[in-house]
Amino acid sequence: MNLLVVDELSKRFGGVAAVNGVSFEVREGEILGLIGPNGSGKTTVLNMLSGFLPPDAGRITMDGRDVTRMPPAGLAQAGILRMFQMTRVFTRTSAFDNLLTAGMARGLSEAESTRRAQSLVEELTLGPVQHLDAGQLSGGQRKLLEFGMCFIEAPRVAMLDEPFAAVHPVMREVMAKFIRARHEQGATFLLVSHDMPIVVDLCQRAVCMNAGRVIATGGVHEVLRDHQVIEAYLGETHEGDEPPTLEVST
Amino acid sequence: MKAGPASLWRDRLAFDARAAVLLCAVLAALPLVITGPYAQGIILVSMYFAILSLAWNALAGYTGQFSLAPAAFAMLGGYTTALLDFYWHVPLVLAIPAAIVSTALLGLVLGKLVLNLSGPYLSLTTLAFAEIARVVIGNSHEFTRGDQGMHVATLTESRLAYYYIFLAALVLVLAVLYFMLRGRLGRFMTAVRDDAIGAESRGIDVVRVKMIVFCTSCAICGLAGSLYGTFSQLVSPELGLLQQTGLVLAMVVIGGMGSLTGSVVGALLVYLGSEWLRELGNVQVIVFALLVILFARWVPGGLWSAAVARIGRKQA
Amino acid sequence: MLRLSLDLLANGLIYGCFYALMAVGLAMIFGVLKIVNFAHGEFFMIGAYTYVLVALNFSVSPWLALPCAAIGGAALGWIVERLLMRPLYAGYASWGFMKDEYAVVVTFGLSLLLVNLVDKVVGPYSYKGPALIETSRFALGPVMLTGQKAIATVVAVFIMIALALFLKKSVWGKQIQAVAQNRLGASLAGIDATRTTSLIFAISGMLAALSGALLAPLVNPSPDVGSFPAIKSYVIVVLGGMGSVWGAMIAALIVGVSEAFFSVYGSYDYRDAFGLAILVLVLLLRPQGLLGQKGRDV
**CATH code: domain of residue B203:** 1.10.3470
Which of C105, C122, C236, C281 to probe by mutation at the B interface, max B CB count within 10 Å?
A: C105
Mean pLDDT of A115-126: 90
Beta bridge partners of A34: A192, A207
Query: Is the per-residue pLDDT at B181 higher than 90?
Result: yes
pLDDT in tens, chain C (298 residues): 677 778 888 888 888 888 898 898 888 888 877 788 889 999 999 999 988 888 888 777 778 888 888 999 999 999 998 888 877 776 555 446 677 778 888 888 899 889 888 888 888 777 777 777 666 666 666 666 777 778 888 888 888 888 888 888 888 888 887 777 776 677 777 777 778 888 889 999 999 999 988 888 888 788 888 888 888 888 888 888 877 788 888 889 988 888 888 777 766 667 677 777 888 788 777 777 777 655 444 3
The arithmetic mean of pLDDT across residues B243-264, rounded, is 91
| pLDDT at site C96 | 60
How many domains would you assign to chain A?
1
A17 within some domain: yes
Count of domains for chain B: 1
B201 to A82: CB separation less than 8 angstroms, yes or no: yes
Least confident window among A57-66, B2-11, C45-54: B2-11
| CB-CB under 8 Å, B246 with C36 | no
Distance CA C273, CA C253 (A): 18
A–B CB contacts, 8 A cutoff, strictly below: 87
Please indicate whether, in this complex, the C-beta atoms of A89 and B8 are within 8 angstroms of each other.
Answer: no
- Is the pLDDT at A100 greater than 90, yes or no? yes
For residue A92, give how far its alpha carbon lies from the nearest alpha carbon of chain C (Å): 6
Inter-chain residue contact C92 with A84, CB threshold 8 Å = no
Phi-psi bin for A123: left (phi > 0), alpha (psi -120 to 50), beta? alpha
Alpha-carbon gap, residue A200 to A218, rounded angstroms: 13
Tell me which of C88 and A126 has the higher pLDDT. Answer: A126
- Chain-chain contact of B131 with C272 (C-beta, under 8 angstroms): yes
Are C94 and A84 inside 8 Å of each other by CB?
A: no
Q: Which of residues 294-313 of B touch C (CB under 8 A)?
A: 296-297, 300-301, 305
d(CA A37, CA C240): 37
Which residues partner with A66 through β-bridges? A61
Task: Identify all chain C residues contacting B249, using CB atoms and an 8 Å cutoff.
Answer: 105, 108-109
Residue ranges making up the domain that contains A206:
2-88+156-234
> Which alpha helices (H) appear in chain B, and where do they start and end?
8-33, 37-56, 70-88, 92-114, 119-139, 141-144, 159-182, 184-194, 196-201, 206-232, 242-255, 260-281, 284-298, 302-315
At B60, is the secondary structure helix, strand, or coil?
Answer: helix
Task: Provide mean pLDDT across the span A226-247.
Answer: 67
Confidence of residue A60 (pLDDT cuts 50, 70, 90): very high
Q: In which band, very low, low, confident or very high, does the pLDDT at B302 lie, cut at 50, 70 and 90?
A: confident
Comparing C-alpha atoms, which of C68, C61, C17, C23 is closest to residue C237? C23
The closest of C262, C221, C274, C214 to C12, measured between CA atoms, is C262
- The answer to whether the beta carbons of residues A105 and A90 sit under 8 Å apart is no
Q: Is A74 on the interface with C (CB under 8 A)?
A: no
Question: Which residue does chain C place closest to A44, by CA atoms?
Answer: C298
> Does residue A11 sit in helix, strand or coil?
strand
The complex scores an ipTM of 0.86
Q: In this complex, do A136 and C94 lie within 8 Å of one another by their Cβ atoms?
A: yes
CB pair distance less than 8 Å for C105 and B197: no
Question: Mean pLDDT over residues B220-247, rounded?
Answer: 93
Q: Which of A76, A100, A114 sits opposite B203 (nearest CB)?
A: A76
Check C298 against A92: CB less than 8 A apart: no
Q: Per the CB < 8 Å rule, is B202 touching A104?
A: no
Instruction: Check pLDDT > 80 for residue A249.
Output: no
Average pLDDT of the segment spanning B265-273? 92
Q: What is the SS3 string spanning B112-164?
A: HHHCCCCHHHHHHHHHHHHHHHHHHHHHCHHHHCHHHCEECCCCCCCHHHHHH
Between residues 254 and 283 of chain B, which touch chain C (CB distance below 8 Å)? Answer: 257-258, 282-283
Q: Is A131 on the interface with B (CB under 8 A)?
A: yes
Searching chain C, which residue's CA lies closest to the CA of residue B146?
Answer: C269
Cα torsion angle, C190, C194, C195, C196, sign: positive
As a whole number, the mean pLDDT across chain B is 89
Cβ burial, residue B156 (10 Å; 0-12/13-18/19+):
exposed
Q: How far is B303 from chain A (nearest CA, A)?
A: 18
Chain C contact residues (CB < 8 Å to A):
92-96, 296, 298
Kindly state whether residue A126 falls inside one of the protein's structural domains.
no
In this model, does residue A138 exceed pLDDT 50?
yes
Give the gap in angstroms from C-alpha C59 to the nearest C-alpha of chain A. Answer: 56
Return left, alpha or beta for A211; rule: phi > 0 is left, psi -120 to 50 is alpha, else beta.
Answer: left
Give the pLDDT confidence score for residue C269 in this predicted structure.
67
Burial code (b: 16+ CB inside 10 Å, e: under 16) for C75-86 equals bbbbebbeebbe
What element of type H or E holds A196?
helix A196-202
The whole-number pLDDT of residue C292 equals 65
Closest CA relative to residue C56, chosen from C68, C45, C44: C68
User: What b/e string do you get for C182-205 counting C-beta neighbours within 10 Å, with b at 16 or more?
Assistant: ebeebeeeebebbebbbbbbbbbb
Q: What is the pLDDT of residue B311?
A: 75
Binary contact (B66, C100; C-beta < 8 A): yes
CA angle at residue A161 from A130 to A98, to 5 degrees?
Answer: 20
d(CA B43, CA B20): 16
B8 inside 8 A of chain C by CB: no
Q: Residue A221: give its domain's CATH number.
A: 3.40.50.300
Does A90 lie at the interface with C, CB-CB under 8 angstroms? no
Boundaries of domain holding B228: 8-315
Q: Do C101 and B60 touch (CB under 8 A)?
A: yes
CA quadruple B205, B208, B212, B217: dihedral positive or negative?
positive
> Does position B222 have pLDDT exceeding 90, yes or no?
yes
CB spacing of A135 vs C296 below 8 angstroms? no
In CATH, what class is C2-285? mainly alpha
Interface of B with C in 202-221 (CB under 8 A): none
Residues on chain B touching C284 (C-beta within 8 angstroms) = 113
Q: Is residue A120 part of a domain?
A: no
- Residue pair C94/B299 in contact (Cβ under 8 Å)? The answer is no
Q: Which range among A2-11, A182-191, B274-283, C228-237 shows the weakest confidence by mean pLDDT? A: B274-283
B158 touches chain C (CB under 8 A): no
